[in-house]
Amino acid sequence: MGEFELIRRYFRSAALEKAGPQAAIIQSIGDDAALLQPALGQQLVISTDSLVEGVHFPLDYLPADLGYRALAVAVSDLAAMAATPLAFTLALTLPAVREDWLAGFAEGLAAAAADHRISLIGGDTTRGPLNLGLTVFGQVAAGQALRRAGAAAGDLLCVGGPLGDAGAGLALVQSQAAPPALDPAGRDYLLQRFWRPRAQCGLGMALAGVASAGLDISDGLLADAGHLAAASGVAVHIRAADLPCSAAVACWPEPQRLNWMLGAGDDYVLLFSLPARHRARLEADGWWLRVIGEVAAGEGVWLDQGQGPERVSALPGYQHFKES
Amino acid sequence: MGEFELIRRYFRSAALEKAGPQAAIIQSIGDDAALLQPALGQQLVISTDSLVEGVHFPLDYLPADLGYRALAVAVSDLAAMAATPLAFTLALTLPAVREDWLAGFAEGLAAAAADHRISLIGGDTTRGPLNLGLTVFGQVAAGQALRRAGAAAGDLLCVGGPLGDAGAGLALVQSQAAPPALDPAGRDYLLQRFWRPRAQCGLGMALAGVASAGLDISDGLLADAGHLAAASGVAVHIRAADLPCSAAVACWPEPQRLNWMLGAGDDYVLLFSLPARHRARLEADGWWLRVIGEVAAGEGVWLDQGQGPERVSALPGYQHFKES
């Protein structure tokens, strides 16, 4: 089967091309390039991610889960900017054409596209070691994007969901021993949280013009808090006792649980600084948010484990090439 | 060295971030995503390419040449849409951090960014088998993009530059024997054309609202002419005797020369259909263009090698996965 036929068969479907709002899409797949036109007064938000087998995802996976996860993780950067998803492109490098693999991958990709209301508008297919490149596009009103800079002393530090699920989910994927207290429903929950994360786009949009700064937790809470602190020129204080976790993660004893909440990446929940006056309205609108600390004058990330704040010196967030 | 430090050292330079017009770039590298705002009435043109070692480029290369070529090839899709380049993102998957490699690659990338006036606005760096993912952004006035559809019977079929240079250049890169007539200057010219192609952005912009259809020759003339014919619902007639080649390519005897002109990809010159009334003005403006045939009613690609037009049945353009 030729490259073009391959693309047509698996990626040219309404489930992928019409998953999101169509107004901004002037030209989709089929020409040398795609054409987008953001609505008047809106800016285009753009993020690129690449995923490599064995680095970003375990070797033992279902193609459908991989398709879902790849897109959801990329869309999370749109949520982190308070953007509404519009469209994405896919650069797919594959060692060989395996139809069962492609069918599964396209199915998972379409499920994530539907869940996040985002349409496939272009791509490229190549032979080589498995590599997924996704570029996602969203729009946000001019001046309303949620940046890493902008947090001010006195703001509340908040997260938009439980922490540590992806760390525990990865442990299960890697067949590490689970605590006896973890029941099958908890196990399924964690595997879903790892393989099928939901980008917090709704919350992100609700934070546009409301939160003072924010990002998504992809490197781990401490590392990402460090990014926010550095970009904003402030200190960030975190209280370990206030970190939220799911009932499933709570099955693990300390220090494993805390380590995952602080250091495991891939949770893709939003971390943001919020002027205190906005808290009540967000909660009244039904948003789950947990205050885990405060922004203060100074610099760095400070963690209070019950003995007062201590500066976190070595941020354990995941870095590629760290060992070199 | 950590991933972030790596990115900072080699990719955060004015040569890369300020290479193109800045008006549309609201946020560049440094947050979760970049922000672009096309000028009023302009649409955003988007194209994604991935390049894999051993597939898209020979294993024996200079990193600076690879950096140049990767970006120029991606920008060629903007030229093919008659767009003005604005910005690009880079997803770089590398087996290991090699500083000499990165320094060279970044230098070549910056040279291509300067030549094409396009700024780096974001990216992602990962460990894994070498893979380059580039997504490029340009803008074009609403309704003026050059599409593959739109060619009409009677239009002239034109190319914007000589054909076969990249095919001959690749033969030299692969150390194939060169004809005695090829002098060192011709050799250098072909190697440059292979490693440092220039996307025809100026010509593309001149064709906006003028050419009826067009694309860039990346799969080979016959294959790309087939794309134009299929998208436009017309037949395309090509006269072999009118195909232009450089003095360097003319050193090779037939049938090698013609095979490269018809079938070798990677020339990245524009192929377009032009209502005859526009020809004189384009030439008066100084654009090099060669009429290589005509558009006619019907379908398919027809080649006249002196014995009248024959339908080209098997298009020899390069397809990934063709053998499977």
B227 to chain A: closest CA residue: A31
- The reply to whether residue B55 touches residue A26, judged by beta carbons under 8 angstroms, is no
Whether A54 has a pLDDT exceeding 80, the answer reads: no
Confidence bin at A232 (pLDDT 50/70/90): very high
Among B5, B32, B51, the strongest candidate for a mutation testing the A interface, having the largest count of A CBs within 10 A, is B32
Confidence bin at A123 (pLDDT 50/70/90): confident
Whether B216 has a pLDDT exceeding 50, the answer reads: yes
Query: What is the structure's pLDDT at A166?
Result: 93
Query: What is the structure's pLDDT at B205?
Result: 94
Backbone angles phi, psi at A300, to 5 degrees: 85, 175
User: Does the annotation flag B216 for ligand binding?
Assistant: yes
Six-digit token string for B8: 């900072």
Please tell me which of the candidates A122, A129, A216 has its beta carbon nearest to residue B48.
A122
Query: What is the structure's pLDDT at B318?
Result: 46
Q: What is the pLDDT of residues B105-134, one digit of tens each?
A: 999 999 999 999 999 999 888 888 899 999
Q: Which residue has the higher pLDDT, A48 or A7?
A: A48
Query: What is the structure's pLDDT at A318?
Result: 47
Nearest CA distance, B158 vs chain A (angstrom): 17
Please tell me which of the candidates B32, B54, B123 has its beta carbon nearest to residue A81.
B32
- The reply to whether residue B48 touches residue A4, judged by beta carbons under 8 angstroms, is no
% of chain A surpassing 90 pLDDT: 69
Q: What is the pLDDT of residues B68-79, one digit of tens each?
A: 999 999 999 999
Integer CA distances (angstroms), B320 to A183, B66, B267, in order:
46, 20, 18
Confidence bin at B1 (pLDDT 50/70/90): low
B42 to chain A: closest CA residue: A37
Please tell me which of the candidates B44, B147, B231 has its beta carbon nearest to residue A36.
B44
- The reply to whether residue B319 touches residue A96, judged by beta carbons under 8 angstroms, is no
Annotated binding-site ranges of A: 32, 47-49, 56, 77, 123-124, 148, 216, 218-219, 266, 318
Integer CA distances (angstroms), A58 to A174, A194, A260, B271, in order:
8, 11, 18, 44
Among A11, A31, A53, A319, the strongest candidate for a mutation testing the B interface, having the largest count of B CBs within 10 A, is A31
- The reply to whether residue B80 touches residue A33, judged by beta carbons under 8 angstroms, is yes
Q: In the predicted model, what is the mean pLDDT of chain B?
A: 90
Q: What is the pLDDT of residues B176-199, one digit of tens each?
A: 889 999 999 999 999 999 999 999
Query: What is the structure's pLDDT at B52?
Result: 87
Please tell me which of the candidates B49, B96, B129 has its beta carbon nearest to residue A128.
B129
Q: How many CB atoms lie within 10 A of CB A122?
A: 25
Which chain B residues contact residue A321 at CB under 8 A? 1-3, 6, 94, 96-97, 125, 127
Which chain B residues contact residue A44 at CB under 8 A? 35-38, 44
Integer CA distances (angstroms), B35 to A29, B13, B29, B186, B198, in order:
23, 18, 10, 44, 27
A322 to chain B: closest CA residue: B2
Six-digit token string for A77: 């950067």
- The reply to whether residue B142 touches residue A33, judged by beta carbons under 8 angstroms, is no
Query: What is the structure's pLDDT at B3?
Result: 61
H-run or E-run covering B97 = none
Decide: B162 and B249 in contact? Cβ < 8 Å: yes
User: Does the annotation flag B115 for ligand binding?
Assistant: no
CA distance linking residue B139 with residue A199, whole number of Å: 29
Annotated binding-site ranges of A for Mg(2+): 32, 47-49, 77, 124, 216, 219
Tell me if ipTM is over 0.85: no
Whether B55 has a pLDDT exceeding 90, the answer reads: no
Domains and CATH numbers, chain A: 3-141 (3.30.1330.10), 156-311 (3.90.650.10)
Nearest CA distance, A181 vs chain B (angstrom): 37
* Burial label, A178 (beta-carbon count in 10 A; 0-12, 13-18, 19+): middle
Query: Averaged over A264-286, what is the pLDDT?
Result: 93
Q: Which residues contact A256 (CB under 8 A, 6 or more apart)?
A: none
- The reply to whether residue B50 touches residue A324, judged by beta carbons under 8 angstroms, is no
Decide: B296 and B234 in contact? Cβ < 8 Å: yes
- The reply to whether residue B38 touches residue A44, judged by beta carbons under 8 angstroms, is yes
Confidence bin at A270 (pLDDT 50/70/90): very high
Which chain B residues contact residue A73 at CB under 8 A? none
Query: What is the structure's pLDDT at B8?
Result: 75
Q: Which residues contact B202 (CB under 8 A, 6 or more apart)?
A: none
Q: Is B176 helix (H, G, I), strand (E, B) or coil?
A: coil
- The reply to whether residue A30 touches residue B54, judged by beta carbons under 8 angstroms, is no
- The reply to whether residue B131 touches residue A135, judged by beta carbons under 8 angstroms, is no
A43 to chain B: closest CA residue: B37
Q: Which residues contact B29 (CB under 8 A, 6 or more apart)?
A: B7, B11, B12, B17, B120, B121, B122, B123
Confidence bin at A95 (pLDDT 50/70/90): confident
Query: Averaged over B58-74, what is the pLDDT?
Result: 91
Which chain A residues contact residue B4 at CB under 8 A? 319
Q: What is the pLDDT of residues B258-315, one digit of tens each?
A: 999 999 888 999 999 999 999 999 998 889 899 999 999 999 999 999 999 999 985 4
Please tell me which of the candidates B80, B124, B321 has its beta carbon nearest to residue A1.
B321
Whether B6 has a pLDDT exceeding 90, the answer reads: no
The pairing of strands A300-304 and A235-239 is parallel
Query: Averaged over A45-59, what is the pLDDT?
Result: 83
- The reply to whether residue B319 touches residue A55, judged by beta carbons under 8 angstroms, is no
Long-range contacts of B177-181 (CB under 8 A, 24+ apart): B178/B251, B179/B251, B179/B252, B179/B253, B181/B251
Q: Which residues contact A320 (CB under 8 A, 6 or more apart)?
A: A55, B3, B125, B126, B127
Query: What is the structure's pLDDT at A247?
Result: 96
B2 to chain A: closest CA residue: A322
Give the range with max mean pLDDT: A2-16, A85-99, A263-277.
Answer: A263-277
Please tell me which of the candidates B1, B52, B231 has its beta carbon nearest to residue A324.
B1
Which chain A residues contact residue B31 at CB under 8 A? 81, 147-149, 215, 231
Query: What is the structure's pLDDT at A127?
Result: 86
- The reply to whether residue A124 touches residue B50, judged by beta carbons under 8 angstroms, is yes
- The reply to whether residue B145 touches residue A6, judged by beta carbons under 8 angstroms, is no
Q: What is the pLDDT of residues A216-229, one digit of tens each?
A: 999 999 999 999 99
